[in-house]
Every structure is written in C-alpha cells, then in structure tokens.
C-alpha cells in the first residue's frame, strides 16, 4: 500500500462508516430500548428468565457485554500475533466482520420471549465488532506517517459518526411511518437489526478492496503458526514491560476506558430507568451524542496539534470526571440533554486521541502493529468487562444506576493520575535490544 495515499486513507476510514452502525443502532439506541421493552412485555416486568435463571433485564444486558469482551480479550492477542507473523490481518478482520454482521441479522428473529437468542446474538455481534477493531486499528501506522495519525484517526471516527447517524435516521423513518409502509412497529424495529448487518458487511467491502497486508510469511494454518503467534505476542510483551511511558499510558487508558466504554453501552438504559425517558427521547439524545462527537474529534485533534497529545487527553479526562459527578445528581430530562451534549463533545475526542497517541508510542519501524495493538485492545476489552460488570453489579446491590455512574467517575480520576505521569514520545526500535527480532 502507498503511504499517505488519499484513496487508501478513505477506504480505511470507510470501515468506521461500516461498523459504527452496529455501535449506534445495536449497542446504544434501538436494540437496548427494544430489548428492555420487549422483555418487559413478555415477562410482565424487569425480571426475565435466562436459561431458567431469574435476572433483571438490564443487569443481564450489562453482563452479556462483559462476557463478550472477556472472550475477545483473550482471543485477540493470539490472533494478532498470528496475523502479524503470517500477514493475515485483513483475513482475520474479514472473519470477524462476517461473525458480527450475521449476528446482527439474526437479531431480526428476537421478539423478547426468546431472550437467549437476543443475548447470544448480541454477544456474537459484540465479539465480531471488537475482534475486527483489533486489526482495523493496526492498519493505521501502515497507511500514514506519524504526523497524520491524529488527523486520520479523527477522520475515521467522523466517517463512523456520519454513517451511523445516516442509517439510524433511515431506521427511525421506517419505524415512525411503519403504518404507511404497511408493517407493524415491531417488524419495523427488527428490520433495523437486519439493515445493520447488511450495511456493515456491504460497506466494509470498500475497505477490503483497498487495504492490503504489508508483509506475509509463507506459513499456513498449522501448529507452527500457532507457536509463531505466541512468539510475536511474547516479543511485544517483553518490550512493553520495560517501557515506563507505555505502561503509564496504558494504565491510564485502562481506567478511563472502564468509564468511557461503559457509558457508551449503558447511557440509554440509565435514561430509560432513572429518568423514565421514552424511546424517541433516548434516540434523540444519541443523535446529539453522535453529531457533537464529530466536532469533538476534530477539535481535540487541533488542540493536540497545538499543545500536544498529553494536554489534549488531560483536558478530556478532567471533563469526564466532572460530567460523571454531575450525572449522579441530575433529575430532569433537560439536565440529561445537557450532559449528553457534553459527553458527545468529548466522546469522539477521547476515542480518536487514544488511538493516535498509542500509535505514537509504538517503536518506530516495527512491523508488528497488530501485536502492539493487541495490548491496547486487550486492556480496553478487560476495562469494558470490569466497567460493565461493576455497573450491573452495583445496580443489582443498590437498586440504582446512579451509584454505578459515581463509580465510573472514580475510574476517570485514576486515569487522570496516570496520564499526568505519562510522557508522550516514542523510542527508536534500533536502540532497544529487546526489539531486535521485531
């Protein structure tokens, strides 16, 4: 692939356009709302039976996210090592796209009563999404030079926000005018899940047409490549544990990801249960989040360009801390709309800046980008597991999601502390003997 090639960059960004429909429609808006309403109607309350075991529907939703990300957290490092050694990042990315998109399509048959189908399909969609992101992120240092990391990373997230909002609006039109189309509201809602699956797999073809693996070793799928995969992970691990700044950054990233990712997944359920907001109001909130996030991604890329990545991230984290503690005390819908607008402005910034900052910490000239990003993604996924599990467990213990939000604020505080100790900058790989074989 040509470095800094406009067509390649746009093709890479189009995967954000393709997969963000899952993020918005399935994890943040239509599916969580439909899941709560449908299960409540079928079970006459918030207590559902999952394989015969009684559990609160929102707690089950939180736990399903935790289990999915726990699974991918332990699979992705191995796959990344194999992909780097065998030059198969693109192939593994395609595999996870197929798993995720087909799982979204299968949600079409979820009706609230078959809660097992809904939870398992949602979990597989989450698995496909998170697995594909490992390899998608790893292509960033291969398509642009370091001076463009922040800008291209922000561009990718912006593609995702625009594409996902476009599909969501189409879904909302179908749901709103379902009678004119001649279908029930339930069918119109489930069609949204079907459309996400086809949107995801369809637009990802643009990315796969242009993105190519940079190198390839002639090793097939056999025990040898499994050993090589572990070796690739081992090389990167031995490097990472010797680097103070990478460890500090990843520690900060780990704690603040517990908050960021959990809020992304569970903001709608918080508003529905704590503030009694209707489905249309919740979707409006998410639209605000998405649209404001586009500006946020570019704004903090500009701040980073002028003041550096660390200052940009510190500003973002402080705002996150304040926002969580404000969310704990809000009582009106208007207050929640204002909080949502603030979250939207920092959501795009924190995601974009995290990815580009870590790219700058990877040793210069390395070919094992997928293996390095596997550490990044592993920590993010474990953070999601702990964050979503803590959120659901605290709600189960206290009966209130407000206490869960307060704990997320504490995670952000720890993230601020670690980020304050971090120095952003990379070492030349040739100066470190541990990297001699990478």
pLDDT of 429 reads: 47
pLDDT digit of tens for each residue in the chain (438 aa)? 678 888 988 999 899 999 988 988 888 778 888 898 889 888 888 888 888 889 888 888 888 888 888 887 777 667 766 666 666 788 889 999 999 999 999 999 999 889 999 999 998 998 898 888 878 887 887 888 877 877 787 788 778 878 888 898 898 889 888 899 899 989 999 999 999 999 999 999 999 998 887 655 554 555 666 666 567 667 777 887 888 888 888 889 999 998 887 887 777 777 777 777 776 677 777 777 767 777 777 787 788 778 888 888 899 899 989 988 888 888 887 888 888 778 877 877 787 788 778 877 877 766 656 667 767 777 888 888 888 888 888 888 887 788 888 888 899 999 999 998 888 765 544 455 555 555
Q: How many residues does the chain have?
A: 438
pLDDT of 102 reads: 96
Give this prediction's pTM. 0.72
Q: List the domains of the chain with CATH numbers.
A: 6-435 (1.20.1250.20)
- 107 token code pair: 């949600």
pLDDT of 82 reads: 65
In tens, the pLDDT along 234-269 reads 777 788 788 888 888 888 999 999 888 788 777 777
Using CB atoms within 10 Å of the CB of residue 139, give its burial: 0 to 12 exposed, 13 to 18 middle, 19+ buried.
Answer: buried
- Strand 47-50 relative to strand 53-56, pairing: antiparallel
Contacts 24+ apart (CB under 8 A), 326-332: 327/402, 327/405, 328/402, 328/405, 328/406, 328/409, 330/275, 331/275, 332/275
In the numeric block, the tokens 């194999």 are attached to 82
């Amino acid at each position: 692939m040509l470095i800094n090639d406009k067509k390649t960059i746009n093709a890479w960004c189009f995967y954000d356009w393709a997969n963000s429909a899952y993020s918005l429609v399935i994890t943040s808006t239509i599916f969580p709302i439909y899941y709560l309403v449908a299960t409540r109607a079928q079970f006459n309350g918030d207590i559902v039976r999952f394989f015969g075991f009684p559990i609160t529907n929102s707690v089950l939703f939180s736990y399903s996210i935790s289990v999915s990300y726990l699974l991918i957290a332990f699979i992705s490092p191995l796959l990344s090592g194999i992909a780097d050694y065998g030059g198969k990042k693109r192939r593994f990315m395609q595999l996870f796209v197929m798993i995720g998109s087909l799982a979204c399509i299968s949600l079409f048959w979820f009706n609230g009563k078959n809660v097992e189908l809904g939870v398992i399909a949602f979990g597989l969609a989450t698995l496909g999404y998170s697995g594909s992101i490992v390899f998608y992120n790893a292509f960033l240092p291969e398509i642009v030079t370091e001076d463009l990391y922040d800008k291209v990373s922000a561009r990718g997230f912006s593609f995702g926000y625009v594409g996902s909002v476009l599909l969501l609006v189409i879904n909302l039109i179908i749901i709103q005018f379902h009678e004119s189309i001649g279908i029930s509201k339930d069918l119109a809602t489930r069609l949204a899940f079907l459309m996400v699956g086809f949107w995801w797999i369809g637009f990802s073809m643009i990315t796969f047409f242009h993105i190519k693996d940079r190198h390839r070793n002639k090793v097939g799928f056999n025990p040898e490549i499994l050993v090589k995969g572990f070796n690739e992970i081992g090389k990167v691990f031995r490097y990472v544990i010797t680097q103070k700044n990478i460890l500090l950054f990843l520690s900060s990233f780990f704690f603040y990801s517990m908050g960021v990712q959990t809020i992304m997944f569970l903001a709608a359920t918080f508003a529905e249960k704590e503030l009694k907001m209707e489905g249309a109001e919740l979707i409006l909130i998410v639209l605000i989040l998405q649209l404001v996030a586009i500006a946020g991604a570019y704004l903090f890329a500009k701040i980073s360009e002028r003041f550096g990545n660390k200052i940009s991230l510190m500003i973002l984290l402080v705002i996150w801390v304040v926002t969580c503690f404000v969310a704990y005390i809000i009582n009106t819908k208007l207050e929640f709309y204002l909080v949502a607008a603030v979250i939207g402005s920092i959501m795009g910034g924190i995601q974009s800046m995290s990815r580009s900052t870590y790219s700058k910490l990877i040793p210069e000239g390395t070919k094992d980008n997928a293996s390095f990003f596997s550490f990044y993604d592993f920590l993010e996924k474990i953070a999601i597991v702990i964050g979503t599990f803590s959120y659901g467990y605290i709600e189960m213990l206290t009966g209130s999601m407000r206490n869960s939000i307060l704990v997320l604020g504490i995670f952000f505080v720890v993230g601020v502390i670690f980020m304050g100790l971090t120095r952003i900058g990379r070492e030349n790989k040739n100066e470190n003997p541990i990297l001699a074989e990478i």
